[in-house]
Structure 1
Amino acid sequence: MKLLSFRVKKSHLLLVGILLVAANLRAPFTSLAPLLDAIRLDFSLSAVQAGLIQTLPLLAFALFSPLAGSIAVKYGIERVIFAALLLIAAGIGYRSYGGLFGVYGGTVLIGLGIAMGNVLLPSLLKRDFPQRVASMTGLYALIMGVGAALGSAAVVPLSQLSALGWNGALFAMLLFPLLAMAIWFPQLSHGAARLAIAGEPQQRSGSVWRAALAWQVTLFLGLNSLIYYVVVAWLPSILRYQGFSAEQAGSLHGVLQLATAVPGLFTGHLLARMKDQRAIAVTVSLLAAAGLLGLLALPAFATLWVVLFGIGAGSTIILGLAFIGLRSGTPAQAAALSGMAQCVGYLLAVGGPPGVGLLYDATHSWHGPLLICAALALVMALVGYLAGRDRCLTPAEPLNEGRLSEEER
């Protein structure tokens, strides 16, 4: 009985640790946005220079994601996740009090730490919760959203305290990684023992880049990232173009953030009941498309369309992350697929907002960008239909992964 109780307690501690790690995968990044104007004024930055601060984490996500799995194979998932938290903590400190170089350099460190956590959490769930991948993914996605909302809501009031300013408000985000490290520290003792489990198919997992199924998962998550970051970046401008005031546009932008967190309450549990996820993948993609087309055709009902898009986009994020565990055969393969999907996804996301901005500058209209994003959401529905089939990457036959047999055809 004592042994069973000890195992239960270890499992609970691991679960709490995973959720606290998840809370660090958005908040240190998104909490910067409400203070960007104050930082611009403090350092006399141009709009382009300030925009680069927001782009650097996405570049770090894209460039470093493919490396995280290999690093975890060598050193152990637990240890690398702890190192990721250390990077986030160091980045928060440097960004807060390192001057202008610290703002940029600290942001890069935060991006590197988040990239490792983004890649390795799906692998960890595949290894330690193989029968609960979908529900656990929904839970940690919910915590990511809640952490981001708390961080964004707290920084402005904190910055208005004379003793803190924007530096102190951003430094307060250090609470997230410090708390996570304190709870995660006991997991470090398992790193060496579990290293073989985490890395056994290292050579085979690299072949995910040649698997059709892996590309279907990657494009589903990548298209979602592209559409989501375009809308997050430009929704206030779109609403202002359609006649809304700055205050109304800002409020609806907040509604969007809340709506994207809502699917975490139910999507994971829904996925856990399904072996085949084609129907839900198509449905949530069409919700996102409907929200975009609604903003274009009937902007007077913007609140409805923003909520629809937020629920659709939030659900596709959870579904895409769940696909990483559901479609992979081993924890190492999940890490490789996660690195591939997030590398491609964030590369697409980096180019989306500036590309849409250039299109608006050329046409002076948001109709084209909204139509393009809606069309991409329809493509995402098609890719989601393919990725949602009850199939799995096969490490033993890497070159045939994702291909249908004659019988399946």
Structure 2
Amino acid sequence: MTSYPSPSARDDGARAGLLLAALLLVALNLRAPITSLPPVVDEVAAALALTPTGAGLLTSVPVLCFALCTPLASVLVARAGPELALGASMAGILAGTLLRSAGSVPAALAGSAVLGVAITIGNVAVPVVITRDFRRRAAAVTGAYSATMNLGSTFTTMLTVPLATAFGWQWALAGWGVLAVVALAAWVPAGRRLAARGRAQAPRGAGGARVRPPSARAELDALDPQARGAVRRLVVLLSVAFAGQAFGYYAVTAWLPEILHDRLGMSAAGAGSAAAPFQLCAVLGSFLVPAAFSRGLSARAVAALMAAMWISLPLGLLLAPGLWWLWVGLAGAAQGGNFTVIFTLVAQRSPGVAVARRSSAVVQTAGYGCAVLAPTVMGAVHEASHGWTTPLALVAGVLATMATAMWVASARPAS
């Protein structure tokens, strides 16, 4: 006789599906507002009479907020809960998108800062929801989260220029606020249901009062000293790994078109198009990692594969630049996949939600702190060395450090 899921099981599956859909709509907004600006930054700079330094601020302020505001975002998520925090994140992204497009320099800078703070809150809150509500499927959901962020980046990178041609840069940038509106419409009811379920399931103390969830310190104190040390070592290793990942990503994103132009003689337009697969292939890499996990590959094997693919870009451009299309595609897939590996390890190996939240915040603070410096450091090394050999070797060295940290961090935990 054929058996069918019980109504309650079907209802739970439907609720999980709706929650995942709302979470991915949120993820669609966590990079798109940043990548919508570079394609029209020259037009914005001309309209607002900005110097190149001022125009660069508009793109660097959000990433600076990632580094500076992550600890505060972690506190907000802990006190308000991820449901309310993600709603605030989407509202902030909508407000920042509209403010940045208002047509004045103060509004553009203020809007960029609001976007950076709002996205930082989302960066911290999404891994908390994954750890708490999708722990058994952490790799698949983290991969979908990473892929969706990259899809958002791809959409805005490709479509902002045609929209600006048709409607002007202000409407083109402001129009992406519709993504935040859709995410808000999906997340607000999903967040309310999550919060209500959390209140219903919260343990009760004497007199029926709800007991507050344990803090990160309490979760760590409940572990034996060896396990506590293992958690702390994991956070340090993943912080080093994500610092290398973020440095490599932002350095390559900023300078890859110029490298292809100088080393291969491509036109400026051709080099820009040739660099696009670095972003597009990240979607493939984000799904490749959970597929590899589902087929029984160890975290260490997957991490080693991603590291080898990532390092192929700087080494390949140094040793065999004619195969640039191969190195760009491999590294693009690897940067999406490696992001998935890092935050899957955070979700799976944290003893509780509070530790996962704090660990994610520490890892992101280290990573985005390096990301802010990457384009400037890469440019300074290029200027000092009068070529791209030394900067590419620098990226290779940073990625090798990342690979070493990932190799140690991804070792099977002692049982």
Matched, 1:259 2:281: yes
1:301 aligned partner: 323
1:15-34 → structure 2 map (5 Å cutoff): 15-34=20-39
The counterpart of 1:218, out of the listed 189, 214, 239, is 239
Distance 1:289 1:5, change over 3 A: closer
Question: Which residues of structure 1 form unaligned runs of 5+?
Answer: 392-403
1:351 aligned partner: 373
Superposition deviation, residue 276 in structure 1? 3.7
Asked whether the equivalents of residues 277 and 388 of structure 1 are also in contact (C-alpha less than 8 Å), the reply is: yes
1:401 aligned partner: none
Question: Which residues of structure 2 form unaligned runs of 5+?
Answer: 1-5, 204-211, 222-227
> In 1, distance between residues paired with 2:159 and 2:257?
21
Superposition deviation, residue 202 in structure 1? 3.5
Asked whether the equivalents of residues 138 and 269 of structure 1 are also in contact (C-alpha less than 8 Å), the reply is: no
2:393 aligned partner: 371
SS in 2 for 1:390: coil
Superposition deviation, residue 69 in structure 1? 2.5
Asked whether the equivalents of residues 67 and 339 of structure 1 are also in contact (C-alpha less than 8 Å), the reply is: no
Give CA deviations for 1:211-264 in whole Å, capped at 9, x if unaligned.
Answer: 221111111112100011000000111112112221221111112111222212
Give CA deviations for 1:369-390 in whole Å, capped at 9, x if unaligned.
Answer: 1011111211111111111123
> In 2, distance between residues paired with 1:381 and 1:275?
17
> In 1, distance between residues paired with 2:299 and 2:82?
28
Asked whether the equivalents of residues 205 and 336 of structure 1 are also in contact (C-alpha less than 8 Å), the reply is: no
Superposition deviation, residue 141 in structure 1? 1.1
Give CA deviations for 1:116-169 in whole Å, capped at 9, x if unaligned.
Answer: 1111111111100110000111111111111111122221111111xx310000
Give the TM-score normalised by the residue count of structure 1. 0.90
> In 1, distance between residues paired with 2:296 and 2:352?
20
> In 2, distance between residues paired with 1:237 and 1:325?
37
> In 2, distance between residues paired with 1:245 and 1:152?
19
Matched, 1:177 2:180: yes
1:52-91 → structure 2 map (5 Å cutoff): 52-91=57-96
1:244-323 → structure 2 map (5 Å cutoff): 244-274=266-296, 276-323=298-345
> In 1, distance between residues paired with 2:360 and 2:294?
20
Matched, 1:112 2:126: no
The counterpart of 2:156, out of the listed 146, 151, 154, is 151
Superposition deviation, residue 194 in structure 1? 2.6
Amino acid of the residue matched to residue 283 of structure 1? L
Identity, in percent, stands at 31
> In 1, distance between residues paired with 2:77 and 2:295?
31
The size of the alignment, in residue pairs, is 391
Give the TM-score normalised by the residue count of structure 2. 0.89
Distance 1:272 1:216, change over 3 A: farther
CA RMSD of aligned residues (A): 2.1
Asked whether the equivalents of residues 30 and 151 of structure 1 are also in contact (C-alpha less than 8 Å), the reply is: yes
Distance 1:251 1:205, change over 3 A: farther
Superposition deviation, residue 46 in structure 1? 1.4
Give CA deviations for 1:43-92 in whole Å, capped at 9, x if unaligned.
Answer: 12111111111110111111111222221221111011101111101101
> In 1, distance between residues paired with 2:238 and 2:273?
33
1:229 aligned partner: 250
Distance 1:342 1:325, change over 3 A: same
Distance 1:368 1:180, change over 3 A: same
Superposition deviation, residue 323 in structure 1? 1.8
Superposition deviation, residue 173 in structure 1? 0.6
Give CA deviations for 1:87-128 in whole Å, capped at 9, x if unaligned.
Answer: 101101101115211111111111111111111111111100
Matched, 1:327 2:341: no
Distance 1:7 1:39, change over 3 A: same
Asked whether the equivalents of residues 95 and 104 of structure 1 are also in contact (C-alpha less than 8 Å), the reply is: yes
Superposition deviation, residue 4 in structure 1? 4.2
Amino acid of the residue matched to residue 198 of structure 2? R
> In 1, distance between residues paired with 2:107 and 2:220?
35
Superposition deviation, residue 267 in structure 1? 1.5
2:3 aligned partner: none
Amino acid of the residue matched to residue 20 of structure 2? L
Amino acid of the residue matched to residue 145 of structure 1? N
